[in-house]
Structure 1
Amino acid sequence: MFDFKSRRSRVIDKLKAQGDAVAIVTDPDYVFYLTGYHGALGIEWGRPNIFIQTVDGESVLLVPLMEEEMAHRQTDVKRILPWTDGIDEEWRPHLQEYLDKYRNDKVAVDYTSIPRLVWDFIGDVIPKERISDIGKEIDRLRSVKDEKEIQVARHAGEVAVEMLKGAMKVAAPGVYEYEVELASKEAGTRHAAGLMEKYYRDVQPFNYPGIGNKQIMSSGGEITMCHHRSSMTKLVHGEPFFICHCGTAEFKNFFVGFDRILFPGDINDEAAKMLEVAEEAQKAALSRVKPGAYAKDVYNAYAEVIEDNGYPIPFRAGRSLGFSYNAWPALEKGSGAVLEEGMTFAVDGATDSDNYRTQVGDSILVTKDGFEYLTPFTKDHNALIVGK
């Protein structure tokens, strides 16, 4: 589906520019971006998936034996070296082969992501002063999306919107939060499956429509908690209900951000006034989004609205989106990152008080003239009343 060979070619260019002979990449999101391989288990299980790219063009994947067949089906990388838990030093002999080959050269790693056990193993062979970071360069490459990635981004936005529509159909006073989560995930899964059937049949059997992770949502006395998950709390008439799709709304490994405040039964005036400020902050941030803009200027526009209305700054104005929960660059204070056409962001606005917390968030694509919503959905408070 994606041109992985071209992506690897750009990494080779970066290696040449840095004077590195080989890159050793372990971050699962980076590995997927460069190869198309995404294992069922990640480093948190102690089973590292390691991608090796040499400056002379050799590409190699080290994967657990149980995932070897899947790797061959997912990637165009020809050399795939399997290893087995607890047998023959696992992945180490394969990696040692390349460390020995390049022991007199500079080696690049994804510095902020590499597991300690892999870092220590490399450090026993390659002196630390000859190890450089390739992660920042991969982040820069990933930040600008090509045409196929933008298609996936738009579809991911569709899935997020359908999730919210599904949630709104069942959300009402007296309904448990977890019941809203179930409806949201069912709606998102069904829409994702439809998109995969229509647009992505060529990549079967790796179309995974199911929506995962616990849904961020809060209501009642818990609404002031930013990352509260769906619970046994029942929605209350007149009390605002926050629902956030960060980490759940995902399509073909592309993650989006999308937040709304809903009003079970009727609008809550205090929360509605706070939400208006959050919406103005988001609007101000979006007004600065265009190619050539500085990330810090987007943040400053957002922050000015919030502070002028007497609220504390709750977080940055947004973050880059893509094949990770969180990517570079961020729309944050002092950031000199320059926005480019093809970048994708979650852009937020929020307010906090002792009684309530309100937030609005959307995913956008930077276009040649400004931006395009990936999550086009109403902010009309009357339209956000549920369970009337």
Structure 2
Amino acid sequence: MFDFKSRRSLVMDKLREQDDAVAIITNPDYVYYLTGYHGALGIEWGRPNIFVQTVDGDSVLIVPVMEEEMANRQTDVTKVVPWTDGIDEEWRPPLQGYLDKYKDYKVSVDYMWIPRMIWDFIGDVIPKDRISDIGGEIDKLRSVKDPQEIQIARHAGEVAVEMLKGAMDVAAPGVYEYEVELASKEAGTRHAAKLMEEHYKDWQVFNYPGIGNKQVMASGPDITMCHHRSSMNKLIEGEPLFICHCGTAEFKNFFVGFDRILFVGDMNDKVAEMLNVAEEAQKAALSQIKPGAMAEDVFKAYAEVIEENGYPIPFRAGRSIGFSYNAYPALEKGSKAVLEEGMTFAVDGGADSDDYRTQVGDSILVTKDGFEYLTPFTKDHNELIVGK
């Protein structure tokens, strides 16, 4: 288990710096980072899960009663307070108790993520000028991974690579995209289960090896749609197949980015030419990765390659990865974020035209001397031909 108490202590330090008495956190990824509580049905089901951290050290989870047992088994917080759908004002009375206690003090929230109904409820007690944001500070804490997180990141990268290998084993002319996804997810799930059995037996009850979310995949005439999902399309001889693992490749809640263009049956020279540009752009971005580098400089190196070759900039150069789909900081234009050892990123390259789009992406760990691939996999075009 992660050292959640130490993480909460750092949040208490931030509360003191901001002169806040209590933090009210609702983002599920923040709640997981600070408590270990995860897997519950949340606000999308009308059921907020609320974490309260006081500057004095109280840590309280306010959760639906159906999640009470899981919360108690996953966390080491001071108290778990259950509430029931539609009964006795649900989550409001326990939260009201903390608002009343600290109504004469400053309160912080995760402003960018807090559901409107909770924001309004807090605002009825605490004047808006006494509510500050703690979300940005939590983002900074989460951006640098500890040794246990780095181990999980490496294993998540392994799962992503095995997913692509599984996809490549079945991809061939005439095969449905959904069949490629099935093979990918089976390979990833089996490897995740193997890793959990070997390294995480102490967490067995919460080891979930299954790969979820629809796979980003596009082929043939649909290749130009960046986030098309695997479908009833059949793979076409001589046409590219794009597979993106963002939001799909995950291990113990750690999400990685990993993208490759595959050549179905035979090489496509036009796509290969564009892919060369994408790969050079990624290579330029990676050349800037090291502690002390500025995020905007990584983007600048990537963008120069793409524009010099006559293509438009398709997206940022990369994003922070971890226990969220997307996290701070991004490798984007104008970002003054400074890279640190222990940060993890998905770093991409791309080149798009009216007929084709190409993209290559890998997840990396910032090391003291540069970076380490979390998704080491070939970029040799001949080795990316499938179904020959």
TM-score by length of 1: 1.00
Q: Secondary structure at the match of 2:173?
A: coil
Runs of 5+ unmatched residues, structure 1: none
Aligned counterpart, 2:303: 303
Distance 2:99 2:284 in 1: 50
Distance 1:196 1:41 in 2: 24
Aligned counterpart, 1:101: 101
Q: How do residues 1-388 of structure 1 correspond to structure 2 at under 5 angstroms?
A: 1-388=1-388
Q: Secondary structure at the match of 1:186?
A: helix
The answer (yes or no) to whether the contact 1:213–1:247 under 8 Å persists in 2 is yes
Distance 2:331 2:40 in 1: 32
Q: How many residues align?
A: 388
What's the offset of the Cα at 1:222?
0.5
The answer (yes or no) to whether the contact 1:39–1:67 under 8 Å persists in 2 is no
What's the offset of the Cα at 1:22?
0.2
Distance 1:225 1:170 in 2: 22
| Stretch of structure 1 that moved more, 276-285 or 199-208 | 199-208
Distance 2:241 2:169 in 1: 14
What's the offset of the Cα at 1:43?
1.3
One-letter amino acid matched to 1:105: Y
1:103-157: CA deviation from partner (whole Å, max 9, x where unpaired): 0000000000000010000000000000000000000000000000000000000
Distance 1:214 1:343 in 2: 27
One-letter amino acid matched to 1:111: Y
Q: Secondary structure at the match of 1:156?
A: helix
What's the offset of the Cα at 1:175?
0.2
One-letter amino acid matched to 1:318: G
Runs of 5+ unmatched residues, structure 2: none
The answer (yes or no) to whether the contact 1:31–1:37 under 8 Å persists in 2 is yes
| Stretch of structure 1 that moved more, 34-43 or 95-104 | 34-43
One-letter amino acid matched to 2:359: Q
Q: Secondary structure at the match of 2:205?
A: coil
The answer (yes or no) to whether the contact 1:243–1:261 under 8 Å persists in 2 is yes
Q: Secondary structure at the match of 2:372?
A: strand
1:37-71: CA deviation from partner (whole Å, max 9, x where unpaired): 01331211110000000001000000100000000
What's the offset of the Cα at 1:78?
2.9
Distance 1:195 1:2 in 2: 18
Distance 1:360 1:74 in 2: 37
The answer (yes or no) to whether the contact 2:58–2:78 under 8 Å persists in 1 is no
The answer (yes or no) to whether the contact 2:275–2:359 under 8 Å persists in 1 is yes
One-letter amino acid matched to 1:52: V
Distance 2:40 2:129 in 1: 34
The answer (yes or no) to whether the contact 1:364–1:371 under 8 Å persists in 2 is yes
What is the percent sequence identity of the aligned residues?
82
- Aligned-pair Cα RMSD in Å: 0.4
One-letter amino acid matched to 1:49: N
Q: Secondary structure at the match of 1:204?
A: helix
Q: Secondary structure at the match of 2:243?
A: strand
Distance 1:151 1:368 in 2: 17
What's the offset of the Cα at 1:204?
1.9
The answer (yes or no) to whether the contact 1:285–1:317 under 8 Å persists in 2 is yes
Distance 1:320 1:236 in 2: 34
Distance 1:162 1:4 in 2: 31
Q: Secondary structure at the match of 1:205?
A: helix
Distance 2:192 2:149 in 1: 16
The answer (yes or no) to whether the contact 1:278–1:359 under 8 Å persists in 2 is yes
1:168-225: CA deviation from partner (whole Å, max 9, x where unpaired): 0000000000000000000000000000011111012000000000000000110000
| Stretch of structure 1 that moved more, 33-42 or 2-11 | 33-42
Moved segments of 4+, more than 3 Å: none
1:225-255: CA deviation from partner (whole Å, max 9, x where unpaired): 0000000000000000000000000000000
The answer (yes or no) to whether the contact 2:299–2:316 under 8 Å persists in 1 is yes
The answer (yes or no) to whether the contact 2:166–2:184 under 8 Å persists in 1 is yes
One-letter amino acid matched to 2:62: L
Distance 1:377 1:320 in 2: 20
Distance 1:118 1:132 in 2: 15
One-letter amino acid matched to 1:288: Q
One-letter amino acid matched to 1:223: I
